Protein backbone atom coordinates (compact mmCIF):
# COMPACT_ATOMS: atom_id res chain seq x y z
CA UNK A 1 0.00 0.00 0.00
CA UNK A 2 1.30 3.48 -0.82
CA UNK A 3 1.49 6.19 1.84
CA UNK A 4 -1.46 7.99 0.18
CA UNK A 5 -3.57 4.83 0.19
CA UNK A 6 -2.87 4.19 3.84
CA UNK A 7 -3.69 7.81 4.78
CA UNK A 8 -6.92 7.55 2.79
CA UNK A 9 -7.90 4.36 4.65
CA UNK A 10 -7.37 6.13 7.98
CA UNK A 11 -9.19 9.26 6.78
CA UNK A 12 -12.23 7.28 5.66
CA UNK A 13 -12.69 5.97 9.21
CA UNK A 14 -12.84 9.50 10.58
CA UNK A 15 -13.93 11.97 7.92
CA UNK A 16 -17.00 11.40 5.70
CA UNK A 17 -15.63 10.00 2.44
CA UNK A 18 -12.13 10.69 3.75
CA UNK A 19 -12.17 14.30 2.55
CA UNK A 20 -13.16 17.75 3.72
CA UNK A 21 -14.51 18.80 0.31
CA UNK A 22 -16.23 16.20 -1.92
CA UNK A 23 -14.50 16.57 -5.29
CA UNK A 24 -11.12 15.83 -3.67
CA UNK A 25 -12.25 12.19 -3.30
CA UNK A 26 -11.70 11.48 -7.05
CA UNK A 27 -15.19 9.94 -7.26
CA UNK A 28 -15.82 11.12 -10.81
CA UNK A 29 -12.51 9.83 -12.19
CA UNK A 30 -12.22 6.72 -10.03
CA UNK A 31 -9.29 5.54 -7.94
CA UNK A 32 -8.05 6.95 -4.64
CA UNK A 33 -6.84 10.52 -4.19
CA UNK A 34 -3.18 11.21 -3.51
CA UNK A 35 -2.27 13.12 -0.37
CA UNK A 36 -0.02 16.14 -0.77
CA UNK A 37 2.77 16.61 1.73
CA UNK A 38 4.18 19.78 0.23
CA UNK A 39 3.86 22.05 -2.76
CA UNK A 40 6.27 24.57 -4.18
CA UNK A 41 5.98 26.67 -7.33
CA UNK A 42 4.10 24.62 -9.94
CA UNK A 43 5.01 21.32 -8.31
CA UNK A 44 3.08 19.17 -5.86
CA UNK A 45 4.91 16.44 -3.93
CA UNK A 46 2.64 13.65 -2.81
CA UNK A 47 2.98 11.50 0.30
CA UNK A 48 4.95 8.94 -1.76
CA UNK A 49 7.44 11.57 -2.97
CA UNK A 50 6.04 11.63 -6.47
CA UNK A 51 6.34 15.06 -8.12
CA UNK A 52 3.45 16.38 -10.21
CA UNK A 53 3.03 19.49 -12.36
CA UNK A 54 -0.06 21.08 -10.86
CA UNK A 55 -2.88 22.48 -13.04
CA UNK A 56 -5.39 22.60 -10.19
CA UNK A 57 -3.57 25.32 -8.23
CA UNK A 58 -5.63 24.61 -5.12
CA UNK A 59 -8.78 25.04 -7.29
CA UNK A 60 -7.85 28.54 -8.37
CA UNK A 61 -6.25 30.51 -5.55
CA UNK A 62 -2.59 29.69 -6.33
CA UNK A 63 -2.11 32.08 -9.25
CA UNK A 64 1.45 32.68 -8.01
CA UNK A 65 2.07 28.96 -7.59
CA UNK A 66 2.64 27.31 -4.23
CA UNK A 67 4.67 28.75 -1.39
CA UNK A 68 5.45 31.97 -3.23
CA UNK A 69 8.37 33.60 -1.35
CA UNK A 70 6.83 37.10 -1.32
CA UNK A 71 3.54 35.84 0.11
CA UNK A 72 5.30 33.59 2.62
CA UNK A 73 7.39 36.57 3.79
CA UNK A 74 4.24 38.72 4.17
CA UNK A 75 2.58 36.06 6.32
CA UNK A 76 5.71 35.58 8.43
CA UNK A 77 5.95 39.31 9.01
CA UNK A 78 2.28 39.56 10.06
CA UNK A 79 2.66 36.52 12.32
CA UNK A 80 5.17 38.38 14.47
CA UNK A 81 2.39 40.69 15.63
CA UNK A 82 -0.27 38.11 16.44
CA UNK A 83 -2.81 36.00 14.61
CA UNK A 84 -6.19 37.58 15.38
CA UNK A 85 -7.28 40.70 17.22
CA UNK A 86 -11.07 40.97 17.02
CA UNK A 87 -10.68 44.71 16.51
CA UNK A 88 -10.18 46.58 13.25
CA UNK A 89 -6.58 46.25 11.99
CA UNK A 90 -4.51 48.22 9.46
CA UNK A 91 -4.34 45.34 6.95
CA UNK A 92 -8.10 45.50 6.41
CA UNK A 93 -7.86 49.10 5.25
CA UNK A 94 -5.04 48.35 2.84
CA UNK A 95 -6.93 45.34 1.47
CA UNK A 96 -10.08 47.41 0.92
CA UNK A 97 -8.05 50.10 -0.85
CA UNK A 98 -6.51 47.50 -3.17
CA UNK A 99 -9.83 45.89 -4.06
CA UNK A 100 -11.51 49.22 -4.74
CA UNK A 101 -8.55 50.24 -6.89
CA UNK A 102 -8.43 47.00 -8.89
CA UNK A 103 -12.07 45.92 -9.31
CA UNK A 104 -13.89 48.54 -11.41
CA UNK A 105 -17.40 48.35 -9.88
CA UNK A 106 -16.43 48.13 -6.21
CA UNK A 107 -16.80 51.30 -4.13
CA UNK A 108 -17.05 49.61 -0.74
CA UNK A 109 -16.17 46.10 0.32
CA UNK A 110 -16.55 43.74 3.26
CA UNK A 111 -14.23 40.82 3.99
CA UNK A 112 -15.46 37.32 4.84
CA UNK A 113 -13.76 33.91 5.12
CA UNK A 114 -14.85 31.98 2.01
CA UNK A 115 -16.53 32.35 -1.34
CA UNK A 116 -19.65 30.69 0.01
CA UNK A 117 -19.93 33.29 2.73
CA UNK A 118 -19.49 36.04 0.14
CA UNK A 119 -22.34 34.85 -2.10
CA UNK A 120 -24.61 34.10 0.87
CA UNK A 121 -24.08 37.62 2.20
CA UNK A 122 -24.42 39.30 -1.20
CA UNK A 123 -27.79 37.65 -1.75
CA UNK A 124 -29.04 38.65 1.67
CA UNK A 125 -27.90 42.20 0.97
CA UNK A 126 -29.64 42.28 -2.42
CA UNK A 127 -32.85 41.04 -0.80
CA UNK A 128 -32.61 43.54 2.03
CA UNK A 129 -31.86 46.41 -0.33
CA UNK A 130 -34.69 45.65 -2.77
CA UNK A 131 -37.11 44.25 -0.18
CA UNK A 132 -37.84 41.40 -2.59
CA UNK A 133 -37.45 37.63 -2.07
CA UNK A 134 -36.84 35.87 -5.38
CA UNK A 135 -33.43 35.42 -6.94
CA UNK A 136 -32.37 34.31 -10.42
CA UNK A 137 -29.46 31.97 -10.98
CA UNK A 138 -28.33 29.96 -13.99
CA UNK A 139 -28.02 26.22 -14.32
CA UNK A 140 -24.41 25.14 -14.16
CA UNK A 141 -23.29 28.21 -12.21
CA UNK A 142 -21.80 27.29 -8.84
CA UNK A 143 -21.86 29.82 -6.03
CA UNK A 144 -20.65 27.76 -3.10
CA UNK A 145 -22.90 25.62 -0.93
CA UNK A 146 -25.43 28.27 0.08
CA UNK A 147 -28.90 26.67 0.50
CA UNK A 148 -30.75 28.88 -1.95
CA UNK A 149 -27.94 28.67 -4.53
CA UNK A 150 -27.30 24.95 -4.43
CA UNK A 151 -29.96 24.47 -7.03
CA UNK A 152 -29.16 23.52 -10.56
CA UNK A 153 -31.47 22.90 -13.44
CA UNK A 154 -35.22 23.03 -13.57
CA UNK A 155 -36.60 21.46 -16.72
CA UNK A 156 -36.29 24.69 -18.62
CA UNK A 157 -36.82 28.43 -18.60
CA UNK A 158 -39.09 29.65 -15.82
CA UNK A 159 -39.18 26.31 -14.05
CA UNK A 160 -38.80 26.88 -10.37
CA UNK A 161 -35.73 25.17 -9.03
CA UNK A 162 -35.54 21.79 -7.39
CA UNK A 163 -33.07 21.34 -4.58
CA UNK A 164 -29.80 19.87 -5.80
CA UNK A 165 -28.82 18.64 -2.37
CA UNK A 166 -30.77 16.84 0.31
CA UNK A 167 -31.46 19.07 3.29
CA UNK A 168 -32.71 22.13 1.43
CA UNK A 169 -36.35 22.93 2.18
CA UNK A 170 -38.56 23.09 -0.88
CA UNK A 171 -39.82 26.47 0.31
CA UNK A 172 -36.27 27.89 -0.04
CA UNK A 173 -35.92 26.46 -3.52
CA UNK A 174 -39.17 28.10 -4.57
CA UNK A 175 -37.52 31.49 -4.16
CA UNK A 176 -34.77 30.56 -6.61
CA UNK A 177 -35.56 30.82 -10.31
CA UNK A 178 -33.13 28.73 -12.35
CA UNK A 179 -32.61 29.72 -15.98
CA UNK A 180 -30.32 28.55 -18.79
CA UNK A 181 -27.12 30.58 -19.20
CA UNK A 182 -26.65 32.55 -22.43
CA UNK A 183 -30.40 32.92 -23.03
CA UNK A 184 -31.45 36.55 -22.49
CA UNK A 185 -35.04 35.88 -23.50
CA UNK A 186 -35.48 33.52 -20.55
CA UNK A 187 -34.46 36.36 -18.25
CA UNK A 188 -36.87 38.79 -19.89
CA UNK A 189 -39.66 36.25 -19.42
CA UNK A 190 -38.78 35.77 -15.75
CA UNK A 191 -38.98 39.51 -15.09
CA UNK A 192 -42.35 39.60 -16.89
CA UNK A 193 -43.68 36.66 -14.91
CA UNK A 194 -42.50 37.93 -11.51
CA UNK A 195 -42.83 41.73 -11.68
CA UNK A 196 -41.12 43.51 -8.78
CA UNK A 197 -40.39 40.22 -7.06
CA UNK A 198 -36.85 39.50 -8.26
CA UNK A 199 -34.20 40.86 -5.89
CA UNK A 200 -31.16 39.93 -7.92
CA UNK A 201 -29.54 37.99 -10.70
CA UNK A 202 -26.41 36.18 -9.59
CA UNK A 203 -24.07 34.57 -12.10
CA UNK A 204 -20.55 33.51 -12.82
CA UNK A 205 -19.94 35.89 -15.72
CA UNK A 206 -17.71 33.17 -17.23
CA UNK A 207 -19.21 29.95 -15.82
CA UNK A 208 -16.19 27.90 -14.78
CA UNK A 209 -17.62 25.20 -12.55
CA UNK A 210 -19.11 23.20 -15.40
CA UNK A 211 -15.99 23.26 -17.55
CA UNK A 212 -15.57 26.75 -18.99
CA UNK A 213 -18.33 28.59 -20.82
CA UNK A 214 -18.05 31.96 -22.51
CA UNK A 215 -20.92 34.45 -22.73
CA UNK A 216 -22.48 35.18 -26.13
CA UNK A 217 -21.64 38.64 -27.42
CA UNK A 218 -23.83 41.23 -25.69
CA UNK A 219 -25.30 38.79 -23.17
CA UNK A 220 -23.70 40.25 -20.03
CA UNK A 221 -24.62 43.81 -21.04
CA UNK A 222 -28.18 42.64 -21.68
CA UNK A 223 -28.37 41.26 -18.13
CA UNK A 224 -27.01 44.59 -16.90
CA UNK A 225 -29.76 46.48 -18.75
CA UNK A 226 -32.56 44.12 -17.66
CA UNK A 227 -31.57 44.45 -14.00
CA UNK A 228 -31.50 48.26 -14.28
CA UNK A 229 -34.92 48.33 -15.99
CA UNK A 230 -36.49 46.03 -13.39
CA UNK A 231 -34.91 47.37 -10.22
CA UNK A 232 -32.96 44.17 -9.55
CA UNK A 233 -29.39 43.92 -8.31
CA UNK A 234 -26.84 42.38 -10.70
CA UNK A 235 -24.31 40.24 -8.85
CA UNK A 236 -21.19 38.97 -10.61
CA UNK A 237 -19.80 36.02 -8.72
CA UNK A 238 -16.11 36.51 -9.50
CA UNK A 239 -14.86 34.19 -6.76
CA UNK A 240 -13.05 32.25 -9.47
CA UNK A 241 -12.55 34.83 -12.23
CA UNK A 242 -11.64 37.78 -9.99
CA UNK A 243 -7.91 38.58 -10.34
CA UNK A 244 -7.72 35.45 -12.54
CA UNK A 245 -8.79 36.60 -16.01
CA UNK A 246 -7.48 40.14 -15.42
CA UNK A 247 -6.71 42.40 -12.47
CA UNK A 248 -10.32 43.61 -12.56
CA UNK A 249 -11.94 40.27 -13.39
CA UNK A 250 -14.52 39.61 -16.08
CA UNK A 251 -16.16 42.99 -15.47
CA UNK A 252 -12.96 44.70 -16.61
CA UNK A 253 -12.41 42.40 -19.60
CA UNK A 254 -16.00 42.75 -20.80
CA UNK A 255 -16.65 46.35 -19.71
CA UNK A 256 -19.88 45.47 -17.90
CA UNK A 257 -20.54 46.93 -14.45
CA UNK A 258 -22.37 44.80 -11.87
CA UNK A 259 -23.94 46.27 -8.74
CA UNK A 260 -22.28 43.76 -6.44
CA UNK A 261 -19.28 41.47 -6.88
CA UNK A 262 -18.28 38.45 -4.84
CA UNK A 263 -14.62 37.52 -4.52
CA UNK A 264 -12.61 34.69 -2.99
CA UNK A 265 -9.86 32.24 -3.93
CA UNK A 266 -6.96 34.41 -5.23
CA UNK A 267 -7.84 37.25 -2.86
CA UNK A 268 -6.60 35.19 0.12
CA UNK A 269 -3.14 34.39 -1.25
CA UNK A 270 -3.73 30.77 -0.20
CA UNK A 271 -5.44 31.50 3.12
CA UNK A 272 -9.23 31.36 3.64
CA UNK A 273 -10.66 34.70 2.48
CA UNK A 274 -13.71 35.95 0.63
CA UNK A 275 -15.17 39.40 0.03
CA UNK A 276 -18.20 41.09 -1.41
CA UNK A 277 -18.43 44.66 -2.55
CA UNK A 278 -20.05 47.07 -4.92
CA UNK A 279 -22.04 50.28 -4.99
CA UNK A 280 -21.69 52.26 -1.75
CA UNK A 281 -25.44 52.89 -1.68
CA UNK A 282 -26.10 49.16 -1.50
CA UNK A 283 -23.16 48.24 0.74
CA UNK A 284 -24.25 50.88 3.28
CA UNK A 285 -27.36 48.77 3.95
CA UNK A 286 -25.07 46.43 5.93
CA UNK A 287 -24.88 46.48 9.73
CA UNK A 288 -23.81 48.56 11.59
CA UNK A 289 -24.99 51.26 9.15
CA UNK A 290 -28.10 49.54 7.83
CA UNK A 291 -30.63 46.80 8.54
CA UNK A 292 -28.92 43.85 6.79
CA UNK A 293 -26.99 41.82 9.35
CA UNK A 294 -23.65 40.25 8.47
CA UNK A 295 -20.69 39.44 10.73
CA UNK A 296 -17.61 37.23 11.22
CA UNK A 297 -15.37 36.49 14.21
CA UNK A 298 -12.27 35.98 12.03
CA UNK A 299 -13.24 38.28 9.12
CA UNK A 300 -10.35 40.55 8.10
CA UNK A 301 -7.91 38.24 9.87
CA UNK A 302 -4.45 39.86 9.81
CA UNK A 303 -2.55 36.82 8.49
CA UNK A 304 -5.08 36.24 5.73
CA UNK A 305 -5.13 39.94 4.82
CA UNK A 306 -1.32 40.07 4.68
CA UNK A 307 -1.24 37.06 2.35
CA UNK A 308 -3.99 38.46 0.14
CA UNK A 309 -2.46 41.93 -0.06
CA UNK A 310 0.86 40.42 -1.15
CA UNK A 311 -0.89 38.27 -3.78
CA UNK A 312 -2.85 41.21 -5.23
CA UNK A 313 0.17 43.52 -5.33
CA UNK A 314 2.17 40.88 -7.20
CA UNK A 315 -0.58 40.89 -9.83
CA UNK A 316 -0.98 44.65 -9.96
CA UNK A 317 2.72 45.38 -10.24
CA UNK A 318 3.82 42.84 -12.87
CA UNK A 319 3.13 41.58 -16.38
CA UNK A 320 1.64 38.39 -14.93
CA UNK A 321 -1.51 38.42 -17.08
CA UNK A 322 0.40 38.69 -20.34
CA UNK A 323 2.53 35.66 -19.43
CA UNK A 324 -0.44 33.67 -18.12
CA UNK A 325 -2.46 34.35 -21.27
CA UNK A 326 0.42 33.13 -23.43
CA UNK A 327 0.79 29.89 -21.47
CA UNK A 328 -2.97 29.27 -21.53
CA UNK A 329 -3.08 29.77 -25.30
CA UNK A 330 -0.11 27.42 -25.81
CA UNK A 331 -1.69 24.50 -23.95
CA UNK A 332 -5.11 25.00 -25.51
CA UNK A 333 -3.56 25.11 -28.97
CA UNK A 334 -1.53 21.95 -28.32
CA UNK A 335 -4.72 20.13 -27.34
CA UNK A 336 -6.65 21.39 -30.37
CA UNK A 337 -3.87 20.55 -32.82
CA UNK A 338 -3.49 17.02 -31.46
CA UNK A 339 -7.26 16.43 -31.46
CA UNK A 340 -7.51 17.57 -35.11
CA UNK A 341 -4.56 15.39 -36.08
CA UNK A 342 -6.09 12.23 -34.63
CA UNK A 343 -9.69 13.09 -35.56
CA UNK A 344 -10.94 13.36 -31.97
CA UNK A 345 -13.94 15.67 -31.40
CA UNK A 346 -12.67 18.06 -28.74
CA UNK A 347 -13.51 21.56 -27.52
CA UNK A 348 -10.87 23.50 -25.60
CA UNK A 349 -12.28 26.77 -24.28
CA UNK A 350 -9.54 28.96 -22.86
CA UNK A 351 -9.38 32.43 -21.39
CA UNK A 352 -6.23 33.81 -19.80
CA UNK A 353 -4.84 31.12 -17.47
CA UNK A 354 -8.00 28.99 -17.44
CA UNK A 355 -8.82 26.21 -19.86
CA UNK A 356 -10.86 23.06 -20.00
CA UNK A 357 -11.43 20.03 -22.20
CA UNK A 358 -14.85 18.93 -23.46
CA UNK A 359 -15.02 15.71 -25.43
CA UNK A 360 -17.61 17.15 -27.79
CA UNK A 361 -17.87 18.02 -31.48
CA UNK A 362 -19.77 21.24 -30.77
CA UNK A 363 -18.90 24.39 -28.82
CA UNK A 364 -20.44 24.32 -25.34
CA UNK A 365 -22.59 27.35 -24.49
CA UNK A 366 -24.61 26.17 -21.51
CA UNK A 367 -25.05 23.53 -18.83
CA UNK A 368 -27.10 21.16 -20.98
CA UNK A 369 -24.50 21.07 -23.71
CA UNK A 370 -21.75 20.58 -21.13
CA UNK A 371 -23.49 17.58 -19.60
CA UNK A 372 -24.20 16.19 -23.08
CA UNK A 373 -20.46 15.99 -23.82
CA UNK A 374 -18.69 12.63 -23.52
CA UNK A 375 -17.66 12.94 -19.87
CA UNK A 376 -16.79 9.24 -19.71
CA UNK A 377 -13.68 9.92 -21.81
CA UNK A 378 -12.40 12.36 -19.23
CA UNK A 379 -11.52 9.79 -16.54
CA UNK A 380 -9.00 7.82 -18.65
CA UNK A 381 -7.57 11.11 -19.99
CA UNK A 382 -7.12 12.35 -16.42
CA UNK A 383 -5.40 9.16 -15.29
CA UNK A 384 -3.07 9.02 -18.32
CA UNK A 385 -1.95 12.56 -17.52
CA UNK A 386 -1.50 11.78 -13.83
CA UNK A 387 0.58 8.68 -14.60
CA UNK A 388 2.89 10.94 -16.58
CA UNK A 389 3.18 13.48 -13.76
CA UNK A 390 0.60 16.07 -14.83
CA UNK A 391 -2.19 16.76 -12.34
CA UNK A 392 -5.44 18.03 -13.90
CA UNK A 393 -8.64 18.55 -11.88
CA UNK A 394 -10.23 15.17 -11.07
CA UNK A 395 -13.55 15.98 -12.76
CA UNK A 396 -14.71 16.71 -16.30
CA UNK A 397 -16.52 19.79 -15.02
CA UNK A 398 -13.61 21.62 -13.45
CA UNK A 399 -11.36 24.23 -14.98
CA UNK A 400 -7.59 23.86 -15.26
CA UNK A 401 -5.46 26.70 -13.90
CA UNK A 402 -1.97 27.92 -14.71
CA UNK A 403 0.19 29.95 -12.32
CA UNK A 404 3.00 32.43 -12.79
CA UNK A 405 5.26 29.76 -11.25
CA UNK A 406 4.78 27.49 -14.28
CA UNK A 407 8.07 27.72 -16.17
CA UNK A 408 8.23 27.30 -19.93
CA UNK A 409 9.71 23.83 -19.43
CA UNK A 410 6.71 22.72 -17.38
CA UNK A 411 4.29 24.04 -20.00
CA UNK A 412 6.18 22.29 -22.80
CA UNK A 413 6.16 19.04 -20.84
CA UNK A 414 2.46 19.41 -20.10
CA UNK A 415 1.72 19.98 -23.80
CA UNK A 416 3.51 16.73 -24.66
CA UNK A 417 1.75 14.89 -21.86
CA UNK A 418 -1.80 15.96 -22.67
CA UNK A 419 -1.18 15.23 -26.37
CA UNK A 420 0.09 11.72 -25.64
CA UNK A 421 -2.85 11.13 -23.27
CA UNK A 422 -5.34 12.21 -25.96
CA UNK A 423 -3.86 9.69 -28.39
CA UNK A 424 -4.26 6.93 -25.84
CA UNK A 425 -7.88 7.68 -25.00
CA UNK A 426 -8.98 8.18 -28.60
To ligand PLP, the closest distance from the beta carbon of 237 in angstroms equals: 5
Q: Footprint of ligand PLP on this chain (CB under 6 A)? A: 114-116, 119, 142-144, 204, 209, 237, 239-240, 264, 274
215 versus 264: smaller Cβ distance to ligand PLP: 264
Measured from the CB atom, the residue of 138 and 381 that comes closer to ligand PLP is 138
- Supply the minimum distance, in Å, between the C-beta of residue 387 and ligand PLP: 28
3-class SS string, the chain: CCHHHHHHHHHHHHCHHHCCCHHHHCCCCCCCCCCEEEEEECEEEECCCCEEEECCHHHCCCCCCECCHHHHHHHHHHHCCCCCCCCCCHHHHHHHHHHHHHCCCCCEEEEECCHHHHHHHHHHHHHHHHCCCEEEEECCCCCCCCHHHCECCCCCCCCECCECCCCCCHHHHCCEEEECCCCHHHHHHHHHHCCCCEEEEEECCCCCCCCCCCCCCCHHHHHHHHHHHHCCEEEEECCCCECCCECCHHHHHHCCCCCEEEECHHHHCCCCCEEEEECHHHHCCECCCCCECCCCCCCCCHHHHHHHHHHHHHHHCCCHHHHHHHHHHHHHHHHHHHHHHHCCCCECCEECCEECCECCCCCCCCHHHHHHCCHHHHHHHHHHHHHCCEECCCCCCCCEECCCCCCHHHHHHHHHHHHHHHHHHC
Q: Which residue in the shown chain puts its C-beta closest to ligand PLP? A: 115
* Smallest distance, ligand PLP to C-beta of residue 119, A: 6
To ligand PLP, the closest distance from the beta carbon of 113 in angstroms equals: 8
Smallest gap, in angstroms, from Cβ of residue 233 to ligand PLP?
A: 17
Report the residue number, 230 or 238, with the smaller CB distance to ligand PLP: 238
Residues classed as catalytic = 142, 237, 265
Nearer of residues 146 and 227 to ligand PLP, judged by Cβ: 146
Whichever of 142 and 181 has its CB closer to ligand PLP, that residue is 142
Amino acid sequence: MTASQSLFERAKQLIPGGVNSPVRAFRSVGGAPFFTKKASGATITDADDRELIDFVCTWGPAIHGHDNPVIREAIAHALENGTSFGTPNPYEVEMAELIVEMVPSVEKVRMVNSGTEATMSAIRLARGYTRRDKIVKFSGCYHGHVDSLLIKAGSGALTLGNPDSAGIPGSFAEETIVLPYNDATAVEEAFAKYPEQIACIILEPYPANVGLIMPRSGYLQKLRDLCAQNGAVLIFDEVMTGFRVSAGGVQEREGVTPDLTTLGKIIGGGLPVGAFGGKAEIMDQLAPLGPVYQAGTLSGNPLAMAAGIAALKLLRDSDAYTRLEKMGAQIAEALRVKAAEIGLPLQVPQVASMFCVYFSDMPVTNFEEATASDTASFAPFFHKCLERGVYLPPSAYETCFISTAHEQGAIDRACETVSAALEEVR
